[in-house]
Amino acid sequence: MFFVDMRFAIILGLIVFACFSAGVSAYDVIGGGVCDCGNCSDCNSALNDNENCTTVRLSSDVSSPTSSCINNPDNFNNKVFDCMNHWINGSGQYHGVYAYAKENVTIQNCEVTNFWNGLNLYFPRGFIVRNNTLVENNRYDLRVWADGKEQCMFVMENNMGPEGRPILVYNSSFSLANAVASQLVLCAADNSSVVNVTVVGSSSLDNNGIDVFVTDDSNFTDVNSSDNYYGIYFLRSNNNRVEGSIFNSNLWDGVYLWDAPTIISDNTMLYNGRYDLGGTIGTTCNSVVTGNTGTGGLPIRFVNSAETVSDEVVSELILCQADDAVVRNVTLANVSGIKNNGVLMLNTNRANITDVTSSSHYHGFNLDYCADNVFLRPTANGNDNDGFYFGSSVRNRVLNGTLVSNTRAGISLTQSNYNNLSYNLVHFGWWGVYEYLSSNNTVEQNNVSATSNMGVYLTSSPDGLVVGNTVNDGDQGIYVLNSDGVSVVNNTVNSNGFRGISASGSDVVFNGNTACGNINSDFYSSDWGASSGDGNRCSLPDGWNDSGTSGCTYSCQESLVHLLYGGWNLLSLRLIA
């Protein structure tokens, strides 16, 4: 009897387990290529099922998934995803439907909200996107991305954004006038005309805007795209014209140009979060930019030749392939309190920039792919990011600058080599000088103090020279991380709240440095490796040894004795006299 009962229990358990397993992970195969799914995981599985599921239908509302709901399934080609008017409600991140380089997909009858992007479609060849309601997504309700005209072969129609405003997508020549939309997308829509059109995203979010992808020879006149994610964004689009339009208070840039030479004239671009007029390298520098008003009602100055700019007050200064330009006594004023704009330099070489003030902006000076420029006596205080930011820039010099109270760093370098930073005053901020993935830079004779983290911080930045700097009163003085071949010489690193001179995973030469009065340690490393040095002064070496001695060659107490002895002798001489 016992064995019969055991066999019955085992069989019953297997049946229950099989039913439970099917219930928690299954989608329903209806037949005829149709499958139904009730959650994001099952819908992804169904879309991957090429044997049974050509059309996948959402059978219930989906709330708060922890990632993208439809997350680029491998077999998401030649499929229909039909939400059957159900909601996909996100958690404020990721994407409702994400597809990358898929083909011949239909997305229809979906109501998608509260993601980064409602639908995020990269290179959507052969897509049909129709009858969807896409609202209150943080960046874009419908994000389409294409960098070739062949990727614009799709149909996107009858999609609605917030408050019943349409999402308009065009991939052929069109004329649009006197209209209001929640989003406007042009993809391979050459020779188009947009006149007196207002683009308004969510009333509670700065989302949506105008996207122009691989579209040439089109005109935008009297357009208003404000309070959106970007005002208008151009990608690989040539010879377009933007005139008499308004791009205000967008989360990122008012107008952004990516490899997109454009005529931009007589527009108003105010109070945008990053730059009123932004862009990146490439043919963007062939743009014609005239008569535009930026934040504070001041002009936006665009230079793309060996021009001399002097004695001006501007909202933003852009040097774009402005080789051999001269800029003197220019102030980038901030009269609005919004920390946007600054000096933006793109692919500019051998410019001489003297006595330029760029304070309380996004970056004070932002360099991208620039070489051999000289900055003399720049002032960059109180910027929202860095006083100077170097990206992929080489052999530039910053001399005698005043870089105070920048939120991130006084000077920041990423993938930038052979630059010289000398005789600068760098106070406050998170870092004083920060180098990442950079090499052979010289940080020399700078006064760095009161930073919240490191005064001079080199990470993955080999073969640099840090010489003659004063780095006092911050959290940590000089820190070299994963950077071999660095020389740290003749620096004064005193009274930091944690450590003076530190290294980790780096072979460094330390010579002639003074590190005294640092709270935790004057020198520190968990493993000094092959680092070496001589003639250093400290009292808390924490395992550091100069050549031929234990600890530093000189102690901080000796320095104090010498100071007191010298003062006593001077007093004695005065008394004798």
Instruction: Say whether both 513 and 422 belong to one domain.
Output: no
**Residue given tokens 């620039």 in the structure block:** 370
DSSP secondary structure, 17-86, as one string: HHHHHHHHH--EEEETTEEEESSHHHHHHHHT-TTT-SEEEE-S-EE--SS-SEE--TT-SSEEEE-TT-
pLDDT in tens, 394-422: 999 999 999 999 999 999 999 999 999 99
Instruction: Say whether both 32 and 85 belong to one domain.
Output: yes
SS percent in the chain: helix, strand, coil, step 5: 10, 40, 45
| Residue 338 maps to a domain | yes
Instruction: Say whether both 412 and 537 belong to one domain.
Output: no
Instruction: Say whether both 59 and 122 belong to one domain.
Output: yes
pLDDT in tens, 419-462: 999 999 999 999 999 999 999 999 999 999 999 999 999 999 99
| Residue 296 maps to a domain | no
CA 255 to each of CA 175, 213, 321, 443, 462: distance values in angstroms, whole numbers, following the listed order: 21, 14, 19, 36, 38
Number of residues written out for the chain: 577
What pLDDT was estimated at residue 558? 67
| Last residue of one domain, picked from the residues 160, 179, 198 | 160
| Residue 212 maps to a domain | no
pLDDT in tens, 331-379: 999 988 899 999 999 999 999 999 999 999 999 999 999 999 999 999 9
Instruction: Say whether both 490 and 403 belong to one domain.
Output: no
pLDDT in tens, 149-196: 999 999 999 999 999 999 999 999 999 999 999 999 999 999 999 999
| Residue 99 maps to a domain | no
* Mean pLDDT across 40-62: 98
Burial label, 310 (beta-carbon count in 10 A; 0-12, 13-18, 19+)? exposed
Instruction: Say whether both 473 and 418 belong to one domain.
Output: no
| Residue 86 maps to a domain | yes
pLDDT in tens, 518-531: 999 999 999 999 99
| Residue 235 maps to a domain | no
Of the listed ranges 103-107, 367-371, 557-561, the one predicted with least confidence: 557-561
Residue 17 has pLDDT above 90, yes or no: no
| Residue 205 maps to a domain | no
- Asked whether the beta carbons of 383 and 411 are under 8 A apart, the reply is no
Q: What is the 3-state secondary structure (H, E, C) of 402-450?
A: EEECCCCEEEEEECCCCCEEECCEEECCCEEEEEECCCCCEEECCEEEC
Alpha helices (H) along 292-428: none
| Last residue of one domain, picked from the residues 429, 456, 477 | 429
CA–CA gap between residue 558 and residue 554 (Å, rounded):
7
Instruction: Say whether both 50 and 153 belong to one domain.
Output: yes
| Residue 300 maps to a domain | no
Structure tokens at 66: 């922890």
Instruction: Say whether both 480 and 380 belong to one domain.
Output: no
For residue 364, the SS3 value is coil
What pLDDT was estimated at residue 571? 35
Which residues in 40-64 are b (16+ Cβ under 10 Å) and which e? Answer: bbbbbbbbebeebbebbbbbeebee
* Mean pLDDT across 215-225: 99
Q: What is the mean pLDDT of the chain?
A: 93
Instruction: Say whether both 424 and 316 belong to one domain.
Output: yes
Residue 259 has pLDDT above 60, yes or no: yes
What pLDDT was estimated at residue 541? 98
pTM: 0.91
Query: No. of H helices and E strands in the chain?
Result: 3, 58
CA–CA gap between residue 198 and residue 537 (Å, rounded):
67
Instruction: Say whether both 475 and 415 belong to one domain.
Output: no
**Is the model more confident about 10 or about 409?**
409
What pLDDT was estimated at residue 64? 77
**What is the number of structural domains in the chain?**
3
Instruction: Say whether both 151 and 82 belong to one domain.
Output: yes
Percent of the chain with pLDDT over 90: 90
What pLDDT was estimated at residue 474? 98
| Last residue of one domain, picked from the residues 429, 451, 477 | 429
Quote the domain boundaries for residue 504. Answer: 466-570
Instruction: Say whether both 396 and 520 belong to one domain.
Output: no
